[in-house]
Amino acid sequence: MDNGEVWEAALAQSYFLAVNATVIVPEIAVTGNSINIVSGDSTPSVDDFTDFGSQAMAAGIISRIFTVRNNGTDVLALGAISLSGGAAGDFTVITPPSATVSAGGTTTFTVRFDPSATGLRAAMLSLPSNDADENPFTFALQGNGTGAGSLDLLNAAVSSGFVTSTVMQPDGKIILGGAFSKVGGITRNNIARLNGDGSLDAGFNPDANFFLTSVVVQGDGKVVIGGQFNNVGGTPRNSIARLQVDGSVEAGYNPDVDSGINCLALQADGKIILGGLFTTVGGVTRNHLARLNADGTLDESFNPDVNDIVYGMTVQADGKILFGGQFTRVGSVPRNYIARLNADGTLDTSFNPDVNSFVSCIAQQVDGKILISGHFTAIESAPRNRIARL
């Protein structure tokens, strides 16, 4: 055998030994919300489901599903999950994982949080297995128990100003609008978004150059903002803009209002109603109240012609529009500080509460009754200081 043959034989033997030396072992991995959880993790997070958020006592439960994956080459055997710590009784494994997981396979388990007291509730979860270097697999859990009127853990730490508008997204994130410059110590000019746990959403930063008064979230996740600004993220926008889900300005949406917006309302058909100080929209006369089509163009069929500032507004379930402000006339008809429009924008002549000073906020209860607040002291000569129900 020559040297070349000897070398080839040695390589073949080395390869044979390497292949046959492969260790066949199980390898556990655990994820929550598709995010990897490290064994021994002691810092719960809402992102990976280890922080359950807030739950009112005796008012329901929060359940989270975790996934166990076997990244090894042998069967993963799992033992019974145990919970320890001062509030272990507030967490329950309601669906245990399978006893075995094949190589490359997965199983799930579900943990329920039902607080027995207010405040921070914490426990440690332990999952035994035949994975030698992660036995048991452990991680911390926490949640916040709340009672009626008790303080939640959310603390956005908004500074250098005030918040005028908040709105909840379907995913639980919260958008803030107002006149502020920092949230949680980080620069955010007049608009910001919080994660469900109250931490700042770092990826959302529209950067409006002056204050916001109203924010609405559309069904497609886009966000319409109104206020006194004229620039958003470096893009000229007069008092109103629409943001993409990531907070960037939508290029094709530019209603161009000539003065400030105080309130916005989203109709079921996607149209947006705006009220405020303005007298033109896109160069067309619209006194203090206007409606936009879904693409941001003016709805030319809607022109209530209000004679002074509109402050607050809401759309009823039947499509009628309630609004309040500083006005005393709608079209040619006297209406003191509050009025209701039919869905087509014509005045609802049957509705005339006759308030003695301006109305700033309006909300409708599920039973159809209407709450109003503002500067008034009487309604139809009955004393009512600043708040009333119709």
pLDDT in tens, 127-175: 999 999 999 999 999 999 988 777 777 788 998 899 999 999 988 899 9
Give 7-48 pLDDT, tens digit per residue. Answer: 454 444 444 444 444 579 999 999 999 999 999 999 999 999
Of the candidates 335, 304, 309, 296, the one whose C-alpha atom is nearest the C-alpha of residue 320 is 304
**Residues 186 and 203 sit within 8 Å (Cβ to Cβ):** no
- Predicted pLDDT at 5: 53
Tally the C-alpha atoms within 13 A of residue 300's C-alpha that lie toward its C-beta. Answer: 3
Tokens of 34: 């598709």
Give the per-residue pLDDT at 148: 74
Which of 57, 26, 27, 32 shows the shortest CA–CA distance to 125?
A: 32
User: From its phi and psi, is residue 368 left (phi > 0), alpha (psi between -120 and 50) or beta?
Assistant: left
Give the model's pLDDT for residue 326: 97
The mean of the pLDDT values for the chain is: 92
95 pairs with which residues across the strands? 110
- Give the C-alpha separation, 230 to 209, whole Å: 7
Comparing C-alpha atoms, which of 355, 357, 358 is closest to residue 389?
A: 355
The one-letter amino acid at 132: A
| Residue 146: predicted pLDDT | 87
Q: What is the average pLDDT across 107-132?
A: 95
For residues 353 and 115, give the distance between their C-alpha atoms in angstroms, rounded to a whole number. Answer: 46
Q: Which residue has the tokens 């907070």?
A: 247
Range list of β-strands (E), 147-181: 158-159, 162-168, 174-179
| Ramachandran assignment for 73, one of left (phi > 0), alpha (psi -120 to 50 degrees), beta (any other) | alpha
| pTM of the predicted model as reported, rounded to 2 decimal places | 0.69
Q: Please state, in angstroms and rounded to a whole number, the distance separating the CA atoms of residues 110 and 66.
A: 6
Q: Are 89 and 116 in contact (CB under 8 A)?
A: yes
Three-state DSSP at 270 gives coil
Residue 261 corresponds to which tokens in the numbers above?
Answer: 């917006």
